[in-house]
Every structure is written in C-alpha cells, then in structure tokens.
Chain A
C-alpha cells in the first residue's frame, strides 16, 4: 500500500507516521476533520512500520504488537490458573507413583490432570516458552516504541497546525482582549506557577511538564527484563544450591559439596500456654517458636570422611528461626522442619565372656560416625559395617532402608581370648526390639555361646530428643532479581503517579487557539488549562474544554 508521507508543510516523514513530525498536521487523509487525533507515541512511526518488511521485520513486527503481547499475557494467565486446580507435583516429597496418587485422590479428573502434565504446569515446556515469549515481546515492544517516541519528544515544534490543536481532546479557541503579547505573558506565568516548562516562539507557546513520566513504562519493562534474565540465570548450577541437612541436637553435619559444617547446638520448640490462647484454642498445641541454635564452621583441612578429623573454624553463629535464617557469604540456612521422635544417639554396651561370666567395658558406641576400633578388656572389636535401618534385601543380603538410626545394626570383627585368631564376626543390634525381630543370637550362631555384647540398663542409652531439618540455599542470582524488581517498581511509580502534560498555544492576530494533551488524568489537564486561561483573562469552565470522544 502506497501512503503519501510528505506533509503539506513540506516535511518528509517516515512511513507509518500519523502526525507530521514538523507541524503536527494529521497525515491520515481519511479521518474526519472533527475526529480527535491519535496521539499515541506522538503520532511518530514505530520501528516496525516499514513499507517493505523482510522476514526478520515480520518476526520483529510479531513481537512488537501489543495485541500479540496481550494474547500472550491472557494465555499465561489461563495456563497459570489451570496449574492451581490440584496440588503441583513439587508439593510432594516423593515422586514415585504420583499418577496413582492423583487418580486415587481426585478420581478421573485427577488422572486427566496428571496425564496432561498439568500437575507440573509451571515447569512444563509450554509455560516456560510463554514466559520467554513474553520476555521477547517486552524487549521488542519497548525498543519499537521508545526510540521514535524519544525522537518525537526531543524535537517538538512549538507552532502547531490549527487542526492539530483543535483536534486534541482538550482544546480551546477564543478572542483576546487587549495586547496579545501581554495576554500570552499572563498565560505563561500561570503555567509556570503550575510548574510547567514554557517555550515561546513566533507567537506560539509550548508548556510542558513531567515528560519523564513517559519513560515510566519502558523503565518498568527494562526492570522486568532484568528480572526474567535473572530467573533464567538461576538455571546455572554453580549459582544455585538447594539442599536439606538433618542434624540431631548436638551433632555437627557437613553440608554436602561444600567445605562448611553446621552444628545444631540446641533445638527449641515452644508452644503457647493456655493463658495465652483464646477460648476456642485452649488445650490445643499452637506453636510459638522453632529455633535451632546453629554454628557454621568452615573446614580448613581433612574435610572428607576418609581423611580423619576435619579442622573446623567457626565462621558464623545464629539462632535460626522461621523468619530469620543464618547468612554467611551467600550461603543461607533456613529453619525448615523438625522432628521430636527420640532418636538413638549412643549406647554404652559391655562385652560379656560367657565362659567366665566376666564383664568388660562399657565402651561408647555412637550411632552416627562411630569409631572403627574398640579395645574392651582383653577384646578388640573392629567395626566392619554398620546399618542405620537394618533390613534384609531381596537378594538376601543386609541393606539399610534409611539414614536415620531407626533400627541400627553393627557388624564387628571380634578378636580375643577363646576366639579365632583371624577374628570372628558378631552382629549387634542395640535396640531390644530389633534384637528379637532379626534374631541376633541365631545370626551370630557359633559365637553367641561364648560372647555377648549388651547394654546394662537405660542409663547407658542416650537419645536425641530433637532433630532439626535445615534448608541450605545459595542463590547468586538473587541480587539481580531484586535490582530488576526495583527498576520495574521505579518505572511503575514514574508512569502511574506523574502525568505528562502539554499545552500548545498559538496566537493569530487577536485569536488564541489552544490544544492540550496528557496520557492520563484529563481532569487535572483541563484544570491546569482553565487556570492558565483564567489568569490570562478568559475565564472558562474546565468541563467545556473537553472535546469528548476517545482518549488515549
């Protein structure tokens, strides 16, 4: 389509221009003379408006369309709402048999939900793609508009065509009594009083304020782009850590893949007393506080389990509470959960020589990180294997079901009087229930007649009352996330709470023609214009300045 872009005033405009860059006359021949002007981007051509678009231009045009952007926003919105119908997969700790879970819990609709992949909506390819498309659209839309708008606002003509002025949404035409120069002076003073910047040239005047608010939306978009890039950057493995550590009270545990160790010095849980609770909650347990008094150590040498005693240096100490993580050098430890099931910490068993009835010991056997050799009287015990939750696997060999000492078992090689010189194996279950369940004596068979390892009395057993679960996080992209959001917020405030207002005035003889434009709050715009007119000598009702029709 051929479009004449040369204005009557002689200025050659780029294709797609709506209002002449020089005089402001409408280039759209078809528009009715009384219709309001389209003032978006000040009538400048957007980058995407070319007369002969190439393939690249077409892609650019696709992403530069606000219509497309709105479609993408609406599709994302609908997709996201689908993701909230049933709980997402990541809310479950296990990933096994989730299909069955959805079917059993929610019936047929749950089965369909799972089959469609809606149970992981927010990690699905289409949802992530939508976010990437929106990000692209943000970049392209902004570039497409901000540069032409910048040029248009930077080289504004003061004297505008009359049709430009009268086709603004707020317009005025009236006769001046007395000296036009003095009238314009009074108009200017009133505008300056309302903090307009005023430029005058050849009997024409431009009063403008808060132009910076026009950049608000673009600054907001830049912030969102930084935010989205930072979110993508979180996929870099080295920038991210997310793991959980389980620490029984009093223990020190290594944070995997780091040189840090963390100690749970004391775990505290407090509940509200009845006197602090309202009537309906009396008698219920309402948590008041969860706290892990934690110490963070950095390991200097001997850090792996094989290399013996690690050399630890304390680097941070903090009472970790739900809203108060421990922070050290980009590493953050959060209170995640706790367990108050008593867990076996250590036992102090004795060795009994069944032949003589003599008792030796006791020796200290820790459930976690036990020592590997024990000298007990004439005996020497070498720890060959230990199991935290003992079970017999499908192939008949012993396995451990978990890493928590729920059913601990220890296999020692025992050397000493009356035993084979090469040593004899002995399996030991510290807990009485396991001893019976797995028939310790039968397993030990031959040696069980000559030797027994057992605990004498509960005073030789110690439990950990509380185990804390901490979430260990490292997220190096976070500063960029906050910066992006900060920029975005700044742009929003600039764009929403200030309004770009312009008043164009031209005086022809004793007749003043005025047009005014703003991107929002026409109320204020008309009030400003009416105040300036009143000061100049032409009192007008603000409402009468309204040209009606569409607004931008």
Chain B
C-alpha cells in the first residue's frame, strides 16, 4: 500500500467520522428531551462523545493531508480538490479551537455540517495528484494558501455561530412583519445550504449512474491580432442536459426518465466554453435542492428554522453573539496575513508586482473590506446581536464567492478547473 492509497483511505475515514460526529451532536442537542430528567447530563455525555468522534475525524483528515503530502512530494493545496479539503480541515481546526474556549456542543451541530458539505464539495473535483506547474513551485504556496484558508475557516465558524444566533433569537411565534421577514431570510440561508447539498447529490448520483451527453458547440472568438475566428468544440455533460450550450448541436445523450434531448438553450451572453454546462449544473443543483427542501418541509410541516429554533433555547444568545464575534476577531488578522500580505509577497516574487487587480485578489480585498466594515460597525456603531449575525451570513457568502465563484465564473490567474 503506498502513501497515496493510505491517504485516500484516511480521507474516507475522516468523512464518515465527521458524519457520525454530526449525528452525535444532533443527539446531544435534540435528544435532550428523551433524557429522563437529566438534560444537562445528557448533553454533556453525548457532547463529549460527539467531540471525540469529530476530533478523531480531524486526526484522520490530518493523516490524509500529510500522507498525501509525502506521497506526491508537495503540499496538497494546489488544485480545487486539495484546496477545498484543506479548507474543510481548517474549519474543523477553527471549530476545535473555538469549542475549547467556549465549550458549547451546539456549535458542533452547525460547524460539522459545514465541514461535511465543504469536503463533499471538494470530492466533486478530480482527485488525482498532479505535479506542480512552475508558477506554483514555491514555498509561498504552503505559507499563503494555508494561512488564508485558516483565516477563512475562523470567519466561517463566525458564520456558523452567527446563524445559530439568528435561529436562537428570531421570533418564531410572532406574527409581526419584521419577525416574518427575519424568518424568511433565515429560511433562505437554510435553503442555500441545502442547494449546496443538492449540488453534491446530483453530481454523485449521475456520476455513479455513468451519465453522459455530448454537444458540438461553435463559439466566436477574437484573436490577439484582432481577427474573428470560430472554434468548434465538444462539450461533455455529466448530468442530463436541461440547458444545452449556446449555439450547439446534440451529438448524443443518454436517456434520463425517457428524455434524451435538452429542454432549453443557454442565452447568447453565456457563450464561454463551459458556460452552458455550468448553467446546467446550477439548474440541477437548484432542482435537487428544491426537492430536498420540499421533502424536509413535508416531513416536518414547518419552516426548517422553526425545527431548529427550539433546540437552541437553552443557550444564551449573548454568548452566541460573543462566540461569533470572537471567531471573526481571531480570523480577521489571520486572513489579512494569509490572503493579503503573504499573497502580496508571493505575487511580488512570482509575478513581479504585489498587486495586479486580478479578480481573485480583488475579491480577497472585498472580503477584507467587508469584515473591516463589520468590525467598525460593531465596535463604533454598536451593531451587536442580530445585525452583526446577518453580517456574518453575508460575509460567508462573499468568502464562498471568493473561493469558488471567482474560479468558476470569472477566469483569472488563480483559475483551477471547474465542474
């Protein structure tokens, strides 16, 4: 068994340990009512089991990380799969640190699903270890990527605590307009998380079924010399084409539910090489997410927020607000160091300029500006509690766009491959 095989096994172990850790956390929090009169003891006991299992998961993932490092000879943060798994591990690490300060098991109920989603998302990307291209061959790869991810991980834990704070404080009994609006947006946030799950489910279901469809797409382009040229390319879909690429012709498609041709065509402005396929993926994710959400609503017969809200009532909302703020206060300097300062130092060495307004750089700056606005609003304008928690939700959306959206939607120097 070589290092890389060992690494893959450790990854699978980590994934399942995280899943069990999450289940135990749910047991610790939601199971309090079945505890025969000792809810505090029940939470302590199951919270400890959940923490131990999750920590074992982290140990397994660290094994995955270091064995892969040894196996491929360079740090595994050089493509989307490796980076996202590292981010998941960093979120786990940040959660462990924040948990050891505050000791609130309910935090695990929110941090672990985040880790699981991030790691499952990572597995969508090609997992082969690839040798480094010259641009990445620098010790700054280790320093920049790891610190940036760790900073983002703390900000993500700040989001988990912020969302929890919202679920705790939003009024699920009131009929007031403001309370209804808040419930709506909490529900939107939950829905977005479920769409992320929907994306992962659709990718893996169709991958397991071995689905394939192919299109021939003609795209217009302008060369550097200013000549108009048209390229003909084959676009391969791994999900049934609801949307076909713009200006394309179907070569073949496996039948799905008896349908073997696309329903719609992508609009003309989505004429990039993979724009049609990405749009199709988004449609499938929304669809699967919506079905999943609908099933959950049917099962519980109330808003998902209203399902979770009663589990949170034992924790002091001020403590949650503090945990969220603390996580962000810890993460912000690390993010500044990793995503901006180290990034500038490396850019100066590799690209001869410390700043070049590359989309990824700009979005790292946007993230930084957003969180500095958060800190100023909180410290000088007294934005605490709900307002501050809503900001953590927006902040998390910005981080996710910086990490994933920029690579998939906007091309730039940092582009990794997309699905």
Contacts and interface: CB of A to CB of B under 8 A. Distances in A.
B388 to A, nearest CB: 11
A321 B134 contact: yes
A485 B341 contact: yes
Contacts of A281: 128, 130
Nearest to A101: B222
Contacts of B344: 481, 485
A288 B318 contact: no
Interface residues of A, number: 73
A77 B133 contact: no
Given A66-B380, A77-B369, A289-B134, A492 B318 contact: no
Nearest to A548: B318
B350 A81 contact: no
Contacts of B357: 83, 88, 90, 121-122
Interface string B355-372: 011010011011001101
B354 interface: yes
Given A278-B129, A497-B333, A550-B382, A481 B362 contact: no
Contacts of A101: 222
Nearest to B224: A93
B134 A288 contact: yes
A97 B381 contact: no
Residue picked from A70, A336, A497, most chain B C-beta under 10 Å: A70
Nearest to A494: B333
A73 B372 contact: yes
B134 A323 contact: yes
A286 interface: yes
A332 B224 CA distance: 28
Contacts of A497: 330, 333
Interface string B88-117: 000000000000011000000000000000
A492 B336 CA distance: 9
Contacts of A70: 373, 376-377, 381
B382 A81 contact: no
A521 B376 contact: no
Contact of B362 (A81, A493, A551): A81
A471 B322 CA distance: 49
Given A80-B366, A290-B134, A489-B341, A323 B329 contact: no
A83 B379 CA distance: 30
Nearest to B382: A550
B384 interface: yes
B134 A489 contact: no
Contacts of A96: 226
Interface stretch (B19-27, B46-54, B135-143, B175-183): B135-143
Given A88-B357, A478-B348, A80 B325 contact: no
B134 A496 contact: no
Nearest to A104: B222
Contacts of B34: none
Nearest to A279: B128
B269 A106 contact: yes
A372 interface: no
A522 B322 contact: yes
Given A81-B366, A323-B135, A520 B329 contact: yes
Contacts of B221: 105
B334 to A, nearest CB: 9
Contacts of B356: 90
Given A106-B269, A107-B269, A550 B384 contact: yes
B2 interface: no
B199 interface: no
Contacts of A77: 366, 369-370, 373
Contact of A84 (B345, B351, B384, B410): B410
Interface residues of B, number: 64
B329 A496 contact: yes
Contact of B333 (A73, A97, A290, A489): A489
Given A77-B369, A280-B128, A485-B344, A94 B134 contact: no
Interface in A472-520: 473, 478, 481-482, 485, 488-489, 492-493, 496-497, 519-520
Given A323-B140, A489-B341, A473 B352 contact: yes
A199 B53 CA distance: 48
Contact of B332 (A94, A496, A519): A496
B74 to A, nearest CB: 12
A323 B137 CA distance: 7
A80 B364 CA distance: 11
B352 A336 contact: yes
B231 interface: no
A245 B220 CA distance: 33
B370 A481 contact: no
A109 to B, nearest CB: 7
A523 interface: yes
Contacts of A287: 133-134
B268 interface: yes
Interface string B365-409: 110011011001101111010000000000000000000001000
Interface string B302-320: 0000000000000010110
A272 B129 CA distance: 13
Nearest to A278: B128
A73 B373 contact: yes
B133 A69 contact: no
A239 B337 CA distance: 26
B131 interface: yes
Contacts of B220: 104
Contact of B376 (A66, A105, A324): A66
B44 interface: no
A157 interface: no
Contacts of A523: 101-102, 319, 322
Interface string A524-552: 00000000000000000001001010111
5 contacts: A40-B380, A85-B410, A323-B134, A489-B333, A492-B332
Interface of A: 40, 66-67, 69-70, 73-74, 76-77, 80-81, 83-85, 87-88, 90, 92-94, 96-97, 101, 104-107, 109, 121-122, 272, 276-281, 286-290, 321-325, 332, 334, 336, 471, 473, 478, 481-482, 485, 488-489, 492-493, 496-497, 519-523, 543, 546, 548, 550-552
Given A88-B357, A104-B220, 13 more contacts: A73-B369, A84-B359, A101-B222, A104-B222, A109-B269, A122-B357, A323-B137, A324-B349, A336-B352, A496-B332, A520-B326, A521-B322, A523-B101
Interface of B: 101-102, 126, 128-131, 133-135, 137-138, 140, 220-222, 224, 226, 228, 268-269, 316, 318-319, 322, 325-326, 329-330, 332-333, 336-337, 341, 344-345, 348-354, 356-357, 359, 362-363, 365-366, 369-370, 372-373, 376-377, 379-382, 384, 406, 410-411
